Amino acid sequence: MKAAEAWNGPVGRHWADHPDRYDAMLAPFDAALFDAAAIGVDDRVLDIGCGSGGTSRAAARLARRGRVTGVDISEALVARARALTDPARDGDVTFELGDAQLHLFERGGYDVVISRGGVMFFADHVAAFTHIGGALRAGGRLAFVCPRPSPPDGEESRALTLLASMVGGDHAVDTSVARSMVSLSDPERTGSVLEAAGFEDVTALPVTAATRWGADAADAVDFFVSRTQGPPVTDGTHAAMADVFRPYETPEGVLLRAGVWVVSARRPC
């Protein structure tokens, strides 16, 4: 399945149905993303792969006299972003349905492009970032978060790999999405891609944070299983999966440490 189909199919619907869950999982990376983006009060901000719009609304709180446009390829997620946004509270934030690889952006119309995990799914990264770069004014900034897989013995990969093996083949998470997720995980390659796309001053900062999977181990299992396709797991499997999450239970919920790259770059002046 192509990523565009997945984000307009079960994967996108799941993200649209659980915006609070995914925001809780990814919000720990926002401080580093917004530090890198350095959004000013008058900035015009473009949020690529904005999903349900959490980062678009956060950007609008910083760009109080500017404006924010969120673009996403998923109809369900753009609809959810619009439903969650109140112009009276959130300011000048609008959402457009489109494929960021081809979308007709206002050329040079933005000061900052941000993305929290929405730029890994392109068929041709150099072409896509060249196109997106054209939306930035000269000297404009790009800042995005993308996964930095933990080593095989790392907390997150150890737990998630074990859990995936326990749910069985019928429950496999969409593989095209899983493959694309790590397409920008090599910072040297990302640097070459962005330079070939006309960016300069590329940096990749490793950031690690605790991602929240649920209120407790049983809740985390329910969420993990709901992300996969297939019949409900048996009570025995559910209990065994809860044991995998249990060591990570805290008063703040089930927290797994995960790594990302916060990548920043600039259009030449």
Ligand X SMILES: C[S@@+](CC[C@H](N)C(=O)[O-])C[C@H]1O[C@@H](n2cnc3c(N)ncnc32)[C@H](O)[C@@H]1O
Lay out the site mask for ligand X across 164-203 (x = CB under 6 A, - = otherwise).
----------------------------------------
Type and span of the H or E element at 5: helix 3-7
Tokens 């189909």 appear where? 5
For ligand X, which residue of 28, 66, 91, 117 counts as binding (CB under 6 A)? Answer: 117
Query: Three-state DSSP class for 9?
Result: coil
Is 7 a binder of ligand X (CB under 6 A)?
yes
Residue nearer to ligand X on the CB measure, 118 or 233:
118
Rounded to an integer, what distance in angstroms lies between the CA atom of residue 189 and that of residue 184? 7
Question: Considering the rule CB under 6 A, would residue 121 count as an interface residue with ligand X?
Answer: yes
Given candidates 55, 190, 228, 264, which one binds ligand X under the rule CB under 6 A? 55
Q: Does 24 bind ligand X (CB under 6 A)?
A: no
Q: How far apart are CA 25 and CA 256, in angstroms?
A: 9
Q: Does 74 bind ligand X (CB under 6 A)?
A: yes
Q: Which residues, 6+ apart, have CB-to-CB distance to 20 below 8 Å? A: none
CB of 13 to ligand X, least distance (A): 11
Which range touches ligand X (CB under 6 A), out of 33-41, 47-55, 157-165, 193-201? 47-55
Query: Residue 69: which of 265, 78, 17 has the closest Cα?
Result: 78
**Backbone phi, then psi, for 178, in 5-degree steps?**
-60, -40
27 or 218: CB nearest ligand X: 27
Query: Is 69 near ligand X (CB under 6 A)?
Result: no
Q: In angstroms, how far is CA 185 from the centroid of its own chain?
A: 13
Give every CB contact of residue 150 below 8 A, 6+ residues apart in sequence: 156, 157, 257, 258, 259
**Looking at 114-122, 156-164, 187-195, 208-216, which segment touches ligand X (CB under 6 A)?**
114-122
Tokens, residue 263:
């990548």
Least distance CB 86 / ligand X (angstroms): 18
Near ligand X by CB under 6 A: residue from 57, 80, 116, 212: 116
Q: Are 229 and 161 in contact (CB under 8 A)?
A: no
Residue ranges binding ligand X (CB under 6 A): 3, 7, 12, 15, 22, 26, 49-52, 54-55, 71-74, 77, 99-101, 116-118, 121-122
